[in-house]
Amino acid sequence: MTPKTFKIKSFGCQMNVYDGERMAELLAEQGMRSVAEGEDADLVVLNTCHIREKAAEKAYSDVGRLRREGSTKPLIALAGCVAQAEGAEAQRRSPMIDIVVGPQAYHRLPEMVTKASKGARPVETDMPAISKFEAFPTRRHANPSSFLTVQEGCDKFCTYCVVPYTRGAEISRPWGDVVAEAHALVDAGAREIVLLGQNVNAWQDGARGLADLIRILAKIDGLERIRYTTSHPAEMNDALIAAHGEVPKLMPYLHLPVQSGSSRVLRAMNRSHTPETYLAIVEKMRAARPDIAISGDFIVGFPGETEEDFEATLQIIDAVRYASAYSFKYSARPGTPAATMEDQIPLEIMDERLQRLQAKINHYQLAFNRSKLGSDTEVLIERIGKLPGQMIGRSPWLQSVHVETDCQAGDLIDVTLVAAGPNSMAAAVRSKEAA
Ligand code: SAM
Ligand code: SF4
């Protein structure tokens, strides 16, 4: 039977969220309907992440749960990076999986669904020359803050990471396509666009780089805010740093993963930066935009990491005073060089280091939030809060802000920040923007 309804569950990074939205648009174009929360669907797409072990295990256990929950088994499509890494093996591991589709082959999903509904078990993990982006329909739905993937894949080959294998080589979407998609998103109601890429600051079209793209997007009427993530230190050029000081719509926030503060570990990770070159970028960025919120990624327990190496990571946190950060225990990924390195670190040591690291991160995050107390600023309202009359939005520094207001999602309102917690701020309304 041809499925009439679908549900997409995305795990992992923002690029998966973006891909999930685009797959939904593609399926809707075929006449299928997205189900409401709690409703059974004829087709379930699990849009997976392979970056750490637990994420893949979670996807397989979700497949099992789908079988037990529904009255009839839906068609199950395994999408995303687990699909790319496992290929047909996924169907051997879990015979309930009908479709396996890798991240560069989503444009093939509708025809794969038709085949699967006739009993076939299609697998598509090629990285075709025709980009999936060309097959996606024009954007007709947008969130107040909408994602827009501009760059995919990675050629950096950090020794711990699966991305170069699951997402393929680094490609940039053409300038014209990105600008057209940004216009479509704004027409559909987006007030903020978050440009996405595994190494978004490597985006390039001919002589144009990300800074040029940001400057042109900033001219779009109705678009109020621009962000971009994730940046690689090696691609952080002066033009982009300068844009932070010159383009008011570019928000004062930079996610710049360092991973470790030890030169030795960074070399073993095949990161091209050193603690010194990284700190030099932070300094330049602060000179261009003094209030910038810097965020980062950290891996603790990379093979061979000594207590001294780990302390160097704590030191770089003290030097940067991160406004927020993501931190992970090293997870050995099959097929990556680090997985077979000597001196894999025992779990107890990783746990203990992660706790110490997160205590430090939390300290600076709270300090950053407190430093904004009393500031008059703007919040972009994104959704309804848990309490009556409460709405939740984002400050320019990407803090989650709770505010009592009758404003709607998509409103940009003037507030004063009146309370600071470790993970969020509270604000009082100053005046409502005329819609
Ligand atoms: N391209 C970005 C960069 O290099 O700065 C990061 C993109 S990666 C998808 C997101 C984060 O996942 C990385 O910054 C890293 O901290 C984490 N990560 C990647 N592989 C990992 C692994 N094997 N174990 C633990 N964390 C990992
Ligand atoms: Fe992974 Fe390194 Fe590429 Fe980032 S730069 S996606 S961590 S290989």
DSSP string covering 209-269, please? EHHHHHHHHTTSTT--EEEEEPPPGGG--HHHHHHHHH-TTB-SEEE---B-S-HHHHHHT
- For the ranges 41-55, 251-265, 270-284, the lowest mean pLDDT is seen at 41-55
Residue (of 81, 68, 85, 92) closest to 10 by Cα position: 81
Cβ(159)–Cβ(268) below 8 Å: yes
Give per-residue pLDDT as tens, 45-103. 999 988 887 777 888 888 888 866 666 789 999 999 999 988 999 999 989 999 999 99
Please state, in angstroms and rounded to a whole number, the distance separating the CA atoms of residues 199 and 244: 18
| Whether residue 299 has its Cβ less than 6 Å from ligand 2 | no
pLDDT at 58: 83
* 256 Cβ closer than 6 Å to some ligand 2 atom: no
In degrees, to the nearest 5, what angle opens at C-alpha 348 toward C-alphas 342 and 350? 65
Give the residue whose CA is nearest to atom 1 of ligand 2: 161
Rounded to whole angstroms, how far apart are CA atoms 102 and 130? 14
The H or E element spanning position 284 is helix 275-288
CB atoms within 10 A of CB 386: 7
Are 85 and 165 in contact, with CB atoms under 8 Å apart? yes
| Residue 322 near residue 295, CB atoms below 8 Å | yes
For 118-131, how does the pLDDT look when each residue is reduced to its tens digit (9 = 90+)?
A: 999 999 998 776 67
- Tokens, residue 122: 């299609």
The CA distance from 271 to 77, in Å, is 35
**Residue 324, beta-bridge partner list:** 295
CA 55 to chain centre: 15
Spatial neighbors of 298 by CB under 8 A, at least 6 apart, are 257, 258, 259, 260, 313, 325, 326, 327, 328, 357, 361
Distance of CA 112 to the CA centre of its chain: 27
Whether the CB of 158 sits within 6 Å of ligand 2: yes
With CA atoms as reference, report the closest residue to 109 among 167, 29, 34: 29
258 C-alpha to ligand 1 centroid (Å): 10
Atom of ligand 2 nearest to the CA of 162: 1
Could you read off the pLDDT of 196-210 as tens digits, one per residue?
A: 999 999 999 999 999
pLDDT of res. 52: 83
Q: Is the confidence at residue 327, as pLDDT, over 90?
A: yes
Output the CA 121–ligand 1 centroid distance in Å: 32
pLDDT of residue 101: 96
150-186 pLDDT, tens digit per residue, is: 999 999 999 999 999 988 899 999 999 999 999 999 9
Q: Give the separation between CA 3 and CA 118, rounded to whole angstroms.
A: 11
* Cα torsion angle, 189, 193, 196, 200, sign: positive
Place of tokens 């930079």: 254
pTM listed for this prediction: 0.94
Question: What spacing in Å lies between the alpha carbon of 161 and ligand 1's midpoint?
Answer: 6
% of the chain beyond a pLDDT of 70: 97
| CB of 15 shorter than 6 A to ligand 1 | no
Best of 81, 156, 256, 297 to mutate for ligand 2, by most ligand atoms within 8 A of CB? 156
- Tell me, rounded to whole angstroms, the distance of Cα 91 from its chain centroid: 27
Q: With a 6 A CB cut-off, is 338 part of the ligand 2 pocket?
A: no
Return the pLDDT at 434: 40
**333 CB within 6 A, ligand 2:** no
Residue 291 has pLDDT above 90, yes or no: yes
| Contact yes or no for 131/177 (Cβ under 8 A) | no
Is the pLDDT confidence value at 298 over 60?
yes
**Contact indicator for 250, 244 with CB cutoff of 8 Å:** yes
Q: Say yes or no to pLDDT of 432 above 60.
A: no
Higher pLDDT, 89 or 218: 218
Helix, strand or coil for residue 68? helix
Q: Express each pLDDT in 390-400 by its tens digit.
A: 999 999 999 99
Counting ligand 2 atoms within 8 A of each CB, the residue from 159, 199, 259 with the most, and so the one to mutate, is: 199
Q: Which amino acid is at 364?
A: Y
Measure 354 CA to ligand 1 centroid, in angstroms: 15
Give dist(CA 14, CA 16) in Å, integer: 5
